[in-house]
Amino acid sequence: MRDALVRELNQQLPLRGLAERLQLARALVSGQVVLTNSFGLEDQVLTHVVVQSGLEIGLVTLDTGRMFPEVYDLWRKTEQHYGVSIQPVFPEAKDVQDLVQAHGINGFYDSIEARKACCGARKIGPLKRVLDGAQLWITGLRADQSQQRGQAEWAQYDEAFGLIKVSPLLDWSRDEVLAFAQAHNVPVNPLHKQGFVSIGCAPCTRAIAEGEDERAGRWWWEQDTHKECGLHIGADGRLQRAGTV
C-alpha cells in the first residue's frame, strides 16, 4: 500500500500544476497531512496555495528559539494576510538545557558534531513530535537548491519520521517561485533582498555571494558541501530517496 502510493505520486505529480499536486497529495491519503513552513520563499508559496485551495493540510512551523526577528514579523504578517493560525512547535526545555550544558550557548561553531546536536534538539526532536501520527509531509524542497537535493524524488517514504514526504516544487527554479510569489502577492521575507536565500537560524545563516550554491549560506563556517540539518537526511547521511522504500 505504502509503496504503491509513493509510486503513484511519483508518476502523477510531474504531470500536474502546483495546486493540482497539492490537491492530489491530499486526496490520496486519508490521514493527517502537514506542511512545515520555515517562512522561506518556497514554504510561503506552498502556504498560499494550500490556503487558497481550501485544503485540509495542517500548517506548522518549528520555532528553534534562534530565528531572525524578520522571521517572527513574517510569521505574524502571514497569519494576518491569510486569516490562518500557524501552529508553533518548540524544542523541549530539557533538551536545550542539556545541549547548552554540553556544548555551550554557541557551541555549534566548534564542531559538526555539536552543530548536529543543536539541530537535533531544536529541529529534529520537535519535528518528530509534530509529524507523529501524520501520514504525509509537504516540504518546499527543490531539486536545484543543491547538488545533494538534486537527487530527491517527488515522493518518498521517510524512514526517520515514518511517513511519506512530498516535494511539490521539486522541478521549480527559484526564479519561478519568486515570480509566483510576486504575481500572487505572497508575503515574503525581506532578508531575501539582502542575499539571504536559504534562511535558517540566525547564528547559522549568512547572505550568499553571486554564483554561490543556494545552501552555501547555511552553516557557512563548515567546509562540508553536504549541508543539511537532518530533516531530509537518512541514517546513512544521504538525502532520502524513494528507491529506498
**Catalytic pick from 118, 201, 204, 229?**
229
Helix (H, G, I), strand (E, B) or coil at 141: coil
Which one-letter DSSP state was computed for residue 47? H
State CA 107 to chain mean position distance: 24
Nearest CA to 241 among 148, 157, 144, 147? 157
- Listed in sequence order, the residues at least 6 apart from 131 whose beta carbon sits closer than 8 Å to its beta carbon are 34, 137, 161, 162, 163
CA distance 56 to 77: 21
Cα 21 from Cα 17, distance rounded (Å): 6
201 catalytic per annotation = no
Which is nearest to 38 in space by CA: 170, 160, 141?
141
- Which residues participate in catalysis according to the annotation? 229
